Amino acid sequence: MSSVPVNISNDIRKRIFIGLMAISVLLLGCVFVLAWWVVSRRGILVNKIVLTAITAAAIFFLILLGIGVFALVWSLWRTKTIGPLQNIMSTATNLLFPIALNVGKWIGLDEERIKNSFIQVSNQLVKTRVYGHQIKRVLILAPHCLQWKLCPHKITIDIANCRACGRCPVADLQKLAGEYQTELLVVTGGTFARKVIKDKRPEAIVAIACERDLTSGIQDIEGLPVIGIINERPEGPCSNTRVNLKKVEEAIKYFQQGGLH
Ligand code: SF4
């Protein structure tokens, strides 16, 4: 087991999603007990063997989810990875995400805030997982909305078309990618991003996007370590967005140095 550096402000954000996951497991438990009560007490005709099998499967499923959430809390709290439980933690996180999101919205939490919390949790899990392992082939995926909206150059076709005029963060990102010998690609959406990942076969990804695209992207790309960086939107969504270059650099360095910087 290994230890990763702690970020206190991110810890506070993570608690939102962890709390919602715990509530989701409890909710699923209640739904199951209610369904079981209705079926067994109201005389609904269900074969006893079938009912026992469904009950056993549901209990097993709930226990697995509970273990996943408990392991996640422990891993985040101690900032240590639990190798054998890594898959259970990821599965519990992805399965409970839609329920946690709806529970959060139902109790009045902002959707973007919940997704932000999910991204912090996911980033921490990835960091604990790769800690101590140096990953060289890192791909930086940036959204098209980072490009200055009046720029005439087709950088999604070839990033080398950027003239580095400095009007948008693309030039700085390109410089950063060169410094760390990583590849930078600007993508127009999830389908393009998935295709690029399939073609390039990176070992790790630093993905820049809004909360919505990052949450769906992280869930899509299971198995590959992804650190998500939320973009800044001073002019509203999808137009002339910005990114904190320091965070991008930290994420690249984390992968390349195995968190040992
Ligand atoms: S930095 Fe590159 S992509 Fe951005 S506006 Fe200038 S030429 Fe276009």
Rounded to an integer, the average pLDDT of 130-134 is 90
How far apart CA 64 and CA 207 sit, in angstroms, is 30
CA distances from 157 to 153, 160, 167, 196, 217 (A): 9, 9, 19, 12, 21
Residue 207's CB is within 10 A of a number of other CB atoms, namely: 24
Mutate to test the pocket of ligand 1, among 168, 174, 186 (most ligand atoms within 8 A of CB): 168
Q: Determine if ligand 1 sits within 6 Å of the CB of residue 148.
A: yes
Instruction: Answer yes or no: are the C-beta atoms of 172 and 42 closer than 8 Å.
Output: no
Q: Between 209 and 39, where is the model more confident?
A: 209
The tens digit of pLDDT for each residue in 245-260 reads: 999 999 999 999 987 7
The tens digit of pLDDT for each residue in 196-206 reads: 999 999 999 99
Q: What is the pLDDT at residue 1? A: 44
Q: Between 128 and 138, where is the model more confident?
A: 138
| pLDDT band, residue 35 (cuts 50/70/90) | confident
Residue 134's CB is within 10 A of a number of other CB atoms, namely: 12
Q: Determine if ligand 1 sits within 6 Å of the CB of residue 156.
A: no
**Spacing, Cα 213 to ligand 1 middle (Å):** 23
Task: Collapse the DSSP code of 221 into the 3-class scheme (helix H, G, I; strand E, B; otherwise coil) and give the result.
Answer: coil
Proportion of the chain above pLDDT 70, given as a percent: 93
Task: Specify the ligand 1 atom closest to the Cα of 163.
Answer: 7
**Spacing, Cα 108 to ligand 1 middle (Å):** 40
Residue whose Cα lies nearest atom 4 of ligand 1: it is 168
Residue type, 187: V
Q: Determine if ligand 1 sits within 6 Å of the CB of residue 165.
A: yes
How do beta strands 183-187 and 226-230 pair?
Answer: unpaired
Task: Collapse the DSSP code of 144 into the 3-class scheme (helix H, G, I; strand E, B; otherwise coil) and give the result.
Answer: helix
Q: Determine if ligand 1 sits within 6 Å of the CB of residue 158.
A: no
Q: What is the pLDDT at residue 45? A: 61
- Rounded to the nearest integer, the mean pLDDT of the chain is 88
The tens digit of pLDDT for each residue in 183-228 reads: 999 999 888 898 999 999 999 999 999 999 999 999 888 789 999 9
pTM of the model: 0.85
Rounded to an integer, the average pLDDT of 131-143 is 93
Which neighbouring-strand residues pair with 139? 183, 205
The tens digit of pLDDT for each residue in 66-117 reads: 998 888 888 877 777 777 777 888 888 888 999 999 999 999 999 999 999 9
Domain limits, the chain: 8-129, 135-257
Mutate to test the pocket of ligand 1, among 144, 146, 148 (most ligand atoms within 8 A of CB): 148
How do beta strands 226-230 and 138-143 pair?
Answer: unpaired
**Spacing, Cα 241 to ligand 1 middle (Å):** 13
Q: Between 68 and 174, where is the model more confident?
A: 174
Which neighbouring-strand residues pair with 80? 3
Instruction: Answer yes or no: are the C-beta atoms of 114 and 16 closer than 8 Å.
Output: yes
Q: What is the pLDDT at residue 9? A: 54
Token reading at 128: 């604990």
- Output the CATH code of domain 135-257: 3.40.50
